[in-house]
Amino acid sequence: MKKVHRLKQLERAGVIAVVRGTNKEQAIKVSRAVIEGGMTGIELTFTVPNAEQAIQELVATYQKHADVVIGAGTVLDAMTARLAIMAGAEFIVSPCFDLETAKICNLYQIPYLPGCMSINEMKEALKAGVDIIKLFPGSAFGPSIVQAFKAPLPQLNIMPTGGVSLENMGQWFDAGVVAVGVGGNLIAPAEKGNFEEVTRIAKQYIKKMQVIRGVE
């Protein structure tokens, strides 16, 4: 089951890098810097011009790396989802839930992670076959909200994005999330062309993840 394999990859990755950039080349450099730092989950957003080409290049580069999983973010509709999937995207992330996008992802056996902010949205997403809910923006809630959502829906798999940092990452996992999405503070140095700093910060996230999981 391809979809199950991708879901396991995302859970193993633990920290998913949300990659933005002013152009395709910058986004690819950021992604490579992050992977060099040991992070294996990349969500390349469709706010990047020619995002599908960047995804295609990254998938081609890392297809033999069993742990690396390349997905598309900021996917607003089913047409964009299909474009991303045809380019090789291995998971699809949206800032909000969209039923037609869920259907196209199910058709191609690709995990769909829609952004949800309410129990009702989460319930509708689950009905549409969604396996991981993106809690977005995480900064609007904080880790304590996870148990509040999981009380009526204990089967929820939650990935907060927005507001996750090195300082509070442990609290999110303690609250019961399956993964976290990290963007701003991880990729910020790339705006000044400092990709080595991106790699250094990625290594810090991986080290923190190992501590959380009790892995030396």
- The answer to whether position 151 is within a domain reads yes
Instruction: Please confirm, yes or no, whether 203 is among the known catalytic residues.
Output: no
In a domain, 206, yes or no: yes
Residue 177 is assigned to a structural domain of this protein: yes
Is 182 among the domain residues?
A: yes
- Report the pLDDT value the prediction gives residue 161, as an integer from 0 to 100: 95
With respect to residue 216, please indicate whether it lies within any of the assigned structural domains: no
CATH number at residue 72: 3.20.20.70
Quick one: pLDDT at residue 31? 98
Q: Give CA angle at 188 (184, 192), nearest 5°.
A: 160
88: left (phi over 0), alpha (psi -120 to 50) or beta: left
The whole-number pLDDT of residue 102 equals: 98
pLDDT at site 216: 62
By 3-state DSSP, what share of the chain in percent is helix, strand and coil, each rounded to 5?
A: 50, 15, 35
Please answer whether residues 81 and 101 qualify as being in contact, where contact means their C-beta atoms are separated by less than 8 angstroms.
yes
22 within a domain of the structure (yes/no): yes
The torsion region of residue 158 among left (phi > 0), alpha (psi -120 to 50) and beta comes to beta
Residues 6+ apart with CB under 8 A from 43: 16, 17, 18, 19, 71, 72, 73, 91, 93, 181
The answer to whether residue 133 sits within a structural domain is: yes
Q: 176-179: which pairs have CB atoms within 8 A and are 24 or more residues apart?
A: 176/146, 176/147, 176/150, 177/135, 177/143, 177/146, 178/10, 178/11, 178/132, 179/10, 179/11, 179/13, 179/14, 179/15, 179/16, 179/41, 179/132
The answer to whether 43 is a known catalytic residue is yes
Rounded CA-CA distance 67/29 in Å is 19
- Domain total of the chain: 1
Structure tokens at 5: 């394999």
pLDDT of residue 1: 75
Residue 163: closest CA among 177, 144, 148, 142: 142
Q: What range does the domain containing 158 cover?
A: 2-211
pLDDT at position 40: 97
Residues of the chain predicted below pLDDT 70: 216
Q: pLDDT at position 141, please?
A: 87
Active-site option among 3, 52, 90, 134: 134
Residue from 3, 43, 52, 57 carrying the catalytic annotation: 43
pLDDT at 178: 97
